């Protein structure tokens, strides 16, 4: 099994951008291997829908069949090809297929949070900090370590109690200088004042 599958081509980006496919990859990480029916039960989605998404993930090489766990030749069991999946910043089309949907999700989460009030199982935070480059690098490492620690913990606890009801949560962390110019300004393509 690969340690990390680097998602680079457009088909793989489209595949991993879908929330149900992300959930399927996480469920396979917890279960080790599973059939469409197992994943349908875990996700609450119809088995035929899960089967379709499994085929998409298999086509781009993110999952493979695990015949060693099958009951017979007709039994299709799936497993991940990697321990983790990563989309590197700067990957062509990553903004369109991964970042924009994630930002739309964050916007909808924020909107719904404003309507329903605060909940203990989520945080919606936007903080402005004045940092040196060294402090920002330290904070970036600490955020990455926190996310890695919770990813490992959720997988470990999921494997220990696979029948326990869990939901898919996502964390979107961005730490960067706030005064970055828009892309068209950075390339010299646009000179209009966006506030005009």
- Are the CB atoms for 65 and 77 separated by under 8 Å? yes
- Are the CB atoms for 17 and 87 separated by under 8 Å? no
Under the banding of pLDDT at 50, 70 and 90, the label for residue 193 is very low
Under the banding of pLDDT at 50, 70 and 90, the label for residue 183 is low
Sequence ranges of the domains in the chain? 4-160
- pLDDT for 189 beyond 90: no
95-111 pLDDT per residue, tens? 888 888 888 888 888 88
CA distances from 118 to 103, 108, 122 (A): 20, 15, 8
Strand partners, 65: 78
Q: Percent of the chain, pLDDT > 90? A: 49
> Residue 124: its pLDDT value, please?
79
Average pLDDT over residues 11-37: 92
> Residue 195: its pLDDT value, please?
44
Average pLDDT over residues 66-88: 92
> Residue 190: its pLDDT value, please?
46
Nearest of 12, 174, 170, 176 to residue 86 by alpha carbon: 12
What DSSP character marks residue 34?
A: B
Q: Which of 34-38, 66-70, 114-118 has the lowest mean pLDDT?
A: 114-118
> Residue 180: its pLDDT value, please?
67
Strand partners, 78: 34, 65
CA distance 196 to 192: 8
> Residue 187: its pLDDT value, please?
52
Give the mean pLDDT of the chain.
Answer: 87
Mapped onto helix, strand or coil, the DSSP state of residue 8 is coil
Per CATH, the architecture of 4-160 is what? Orthogonal Bundle (1.10)
Average pLDDT over residues 41-62: 95
Tokens found for residue 137: 């690098």
153-175 pLDDT per residue, tens? 998 998 898 888 888 888 888 89
């Amino acid at each position: 099994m690969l340690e990390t599958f680097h998602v680079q081509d457009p088909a793989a980006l489209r595949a991993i951008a879908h929330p149900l496919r992300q959930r399927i990859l996480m469920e396979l990480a917890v279960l080790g291997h599973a059939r469409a029916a197992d994943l349908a039960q875990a996700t609450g989605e119809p088995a035929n829908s899960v089967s379709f998404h499994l085929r998409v993930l298999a086509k781009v090489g993110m999952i493979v069949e695990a015949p060693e766990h099958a009951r017979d030749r007709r039994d299709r069991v799936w497993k991940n090809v990697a321990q983790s999946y990563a989309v590197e910043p700067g990957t062509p089309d990553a903004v369109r297929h991964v970042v924009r949907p994630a930002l739309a999700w964050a916007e909808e989460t924020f909107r719904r949070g404003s309507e329903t009030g605060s909940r203990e199982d989520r945080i919606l935070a936007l903080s402005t900090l004045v940092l040196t480059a060294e402090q920002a690098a330290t904070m970036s490492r600490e955020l990455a370590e926190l996310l890695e620690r919770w990813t490992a913990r959720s997988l470990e606890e999921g494997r220990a109690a696979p029948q326990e009801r869990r939901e898919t949560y996502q964390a979107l962390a961005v730490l960067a200088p706030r005064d970055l110019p828009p892309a068209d300004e950075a390339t010299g393509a646009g000179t209009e004042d966006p506030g005009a």
